[in-house]
Amino acid sequence: MRQVVRAYLEQAGFRVIAVGDGPSALHAFRRERPDLIVLDLMLPGMDGFEICRTIRRESGVPIIILTARVEEEDRVVGLELGADDYITKPFSPRELVARVRAVLRRAQGEVTAPAVIRIGDLTIDLDRREVRVGDREVHLTPTEFELLATMARHPGRVFTRLQLLERVQGVAYEGYERTIDAHIKNLRQKIEPDPKNPQYVLTVYGVGYKLREAE
Amino acid sequence: MRQVVRAYLEQAGFRVIAVGDGPSALHAFRRERPDLIVLDLMLPGMDGFEICRTIRRESGVPIIILTARVEEEDRVVGLELGADDYITKPFSPRELVARVRAVLRRAQGEVTAPAVIRIGDLTIDLDRREVRVGDREVHLTPTEFELLATMARHPGRVFTRLQLLERVQGVAYEGYERTIDAHIKNLRQKIEPDPKNPQYVLTVYGVGYKLREAE
DNA sequence: CAAGACCTTCACCGGATCTTCAAAAGTCCC
DNA sequence: GGGACTTTTGAAGATCCGGTGAAGGTCTTG
């Protein structure tokens, strides 16, 4: 079994260290600091879950549990102990390799999404909540940022004041539509080179506002 | 089916948007920017793999494929298209929830790469759980360390109090969001040269906190 | 089992931000 | 060019938000 897994993973280009019991596994983990661990729960010498727990206490290394235990309970426990994936035997070696790749892909940095929108000189980073004009960072209030971000997710599309209000203060919007105007004004002061002649936040007369599209 | 999945995920504390066909899925994805997508391959109106591929072109959002197709070939293709996990029917809802958590855990934070993070004079060793300012070691409580470590895994990214709370006391968070403020205050006392003018742990007004990026 | 460490909650304060209004300026269409 | 309507703008008062210190509760550890 161990040899099959090793062979397939090496075939796929990975360097593999294989050991045959729990204590050896812990020891090898501490010595080698692998990029990923495939852990068979049925190792002699130590409860598999216990090994998983111990490793998790010491490190965030990706762990794929491989086992004959098919009980739902075991799967849930394994995943909640911090395993990244849980594969039951019999399994396809090709699938194992694909799962190893998927977990590594995610674990080695492929973080969720850049989430950066660029329009002309304007850069909007949704995760960081940062807005830059050229390379000058501008400070926006929460409402201003939310307004800009809302329009930036659909450049060119027109938003009515009501839509913007809802987005900005939640569905339970109530109150003066014109409040949006005030925020738009402040936003323009901050991001427009010439607030009198907006080139980013455009007015759609009689309807609302929209953000210019990237060219 | 959709309702079952929705019910379980909501029960687990997630906010769910459910749609019933391919084009709606793409549309909802673009509009809502979810943290994770559970994708049924058998949606009407569009090939499931095609949807997966399209989303992957636009974003690194975590995707879990859910399907009745049990062929090894399909699994491998799904995972290689960039899916993070592949679950076949019939599946246990509890397992689905556990897998959603596992993928999110990995995607949202726990990047394995660097165990030591340096930001200015601040050094955070995740494996050793040690923090130094300059070469003075500072003692942090478990909660303080967890807070700092969470933000340090994504310097610059903004975390809401709720996200931090969840991370610090597990998914079953409950209680006062502003508890976080107290920990932040204590953390600042320990690591900031001038706690009144933080240069590491920054407040994002109306949203939460973030850690300064390394320059 | 008791001391100490740690966590949670609360209420108050000052500052940041939001809302509202009315006047001024602009736009549209005949 | 003019009337009706819409948007812009500045300012002021109201509101919201984060920082803080203290008090009490809970968990850990010897």
Mean pLDDT of chain A: 87
Q: Do A141 and B113 touch (CB under 8 A)?
A: no
Residue A7, helix vs strand vs coil? helix
Nucleotides in chain D near protein beta carbons (<7 Å): 6-11, 17-22
User: How many angstroms is C1' of D24 away from CA of B24?
Assistant: 52
Query: Has residue B90 got a pLDDT over 90?
Result: no
- Are A212 and A143 in contact, with CB atoms under 8 Å apart? no
- Are A81 and A49 in contact, with CB atoms under 8 Å apart? yes
Query: Has residue A58 got a pLDDT over 80?
Result: no
Strands (E) in chain B, as ranges, are: 37-40, 63-67, 85-88, 116-119, 122-125, 130-133, 136-138, 159-160, 201-204, 208-211
The angle formed by the CA atoms of residues B117, A49 and A102, to the nearest 5 degrees, is 55
From the CA of B145, how many Å to the nearest CA of chain A?
14
What's the alpha-carbon Rg for chain B, to the nearest Å? 20
CATH number of B116-211: 1.10.10.10
Query: Has residue B112 got a pLDDT over 60?
Result: no
From the CA of B15, how many Å to the nearest CA of chain A?
15
Name chain A contacts of B101, Cβ cutoff 8 Å: 79-80
Name chain A contacts of B31, Cβ cutoff 8 Å: 153
Which of the pair, B2 or A189, is modelled with greater confidence? A189
The angle formed by the CA atoms of residues B168, A29 and B97, to the nearest 5 degrees, is 40
Question: pLDDT (tens digit, 9 = 90+) per residue, B200-211?
Answer: 999 999 999 999
A183 nearest nucleotide via C1' and CA? C18
Identify the pLDDT of residue B113.
53
Other CB atoms within a 10 A radius of the CB of residue A4 amount to 10
Residue A56 in contact with partner chain B when CB distance is under 8 A: no
**Best residue in B55, B70, B79 to probe A by mutation, most A CBs within 10 Å?**
B79
d(CA A92, CA A97): 9
Identify the pLDDT of residue A111.
57
Q: What is the mean pLDDT of residues B158-165?
A: 92
User: What ranges do the domains of chain A cover?
Assistant: 2-107, 116-211
Looking at residue B209, what DSSP letter applies? E
Q: Do A82 and B105 touch (CB under 8 A)?
A: yes
Identify the pLDDT of residue A172.
60
Query: Which residue reads 């936003």 in tokens?
Result: A187
d(CA B104, CA B1): 22
CATH class of the domain defined by B2-108:
alpha beta
Is the pTM higher than 0.75? The answer reads no
d(CA B12, CA A144): 33
Q: pLDDT band at residue B171, thresholds of 50, 70 and 90?
A: low
d(CA B93, CA B8): 7
Q: Do A75 and B82 touch (CB under 8 A)?
A: no
Question: pLDDT (tens digit, 9 = 90+) per residue, A11-44?
Answer: 888 889 999 888 888 888 888 888 899 999 887 7
From A15-24, A79-88, B104-113, the region with the lowest mean pLDDT? B104-113
d(CA B190, CA B201): 11
Percent of chain B with pLDDT over 90: 44
Answer yes or no: same fold for B2-108 and B116-211: no
Residue A85 in contact with partner chain B when CB distance is under 8 A: yes
From the CA of B95, how many Å to the nearest CA of chain A?
6
Residue B84, helix vs strand vs coil? coil
Instruction: Return the residue of A nearest to B155 by Cα.
Output: A128
* CB of A194 lies under 7 Å from some atom of strand C: no
Identify the pLDDT of residue A119.
92
Which of the pair, B9 or B175, is modelled with greater confidence? B9
Residue A116 in contact with partner chain B when CB distance is under 8 A: no
- Are B97 and B6 in contact, with CB atoms under 8 Å apart? no
Identify the pLDDT of residue A195.
86
Question: pLDDT (tens digit, 9 = 90+) per residue, A141-176?
Answer: 999 999 999 999 888 999 999 999 988 887 666 778
Query: Has residue B109 got a pLDDT over 70?
Result: no
User: How many angstroms is C1' of D28 away from CA of A48?
Assistant: 28
Identify the pLDDT of residue B158.
93
- Are A131 and A123 in contact, with CB atoms under 8 Å apart? yes
Edge to edge, the sheet with strand B208-211 lists B159-160, B208-211, B201-204
Nucleic strand D contacts from chain B, 179-198, CB < 7 Å: 181-182, 184-185, 188, 195-196
Question: pLDDT (tens digit, 9 = 90+) per residue, A101-137?
Answer: 999 888 876 555 557 888 999 999 988 999 999 989 9
User: How many angstroms is C1' of C16 away from CA of A190?
Assistant: 16
Length of chain B: 215
- Are B112 and B119 in contact, with CB atoms under 8 Å apart? no
Q: What is the mean pLDDT of residues B62-88?
A: 90
Q: What is the mean pLDDT of residues A183-201?
A: 94
Question: pLDDT (tens digit, 9 = 90+) per residue, B122-159?
Answer: 999 887 889 999 989 999 999 999 999 999 988 898 99
Residue B114 in contact with partner chain A when CB distance is under 8 A: no
Name chain B contacts of A113, Cβ cutoff 8 Å: 33, 59-61
Looking at residue A199, its amino acid is: Q
d(CA A134, CA A112): 25
Question: pLDDT (tens digit, 9 = 90+) per residue, B4-52?
Answer: 889 999 888 788 899 988 888 988 888 777 889 999 988 777 888 989 9
Name chain B contacts of A94, Cβ cutoff 8 Å: 72, 76
Looking at residue B12, what DSSP letter applies? T
Residue A70 in contact with partner chain B when CB distance is under 8 A: no
CATH architecture assignment, domain A2-107:
3-Layer(aba) Sandwich (3.40)
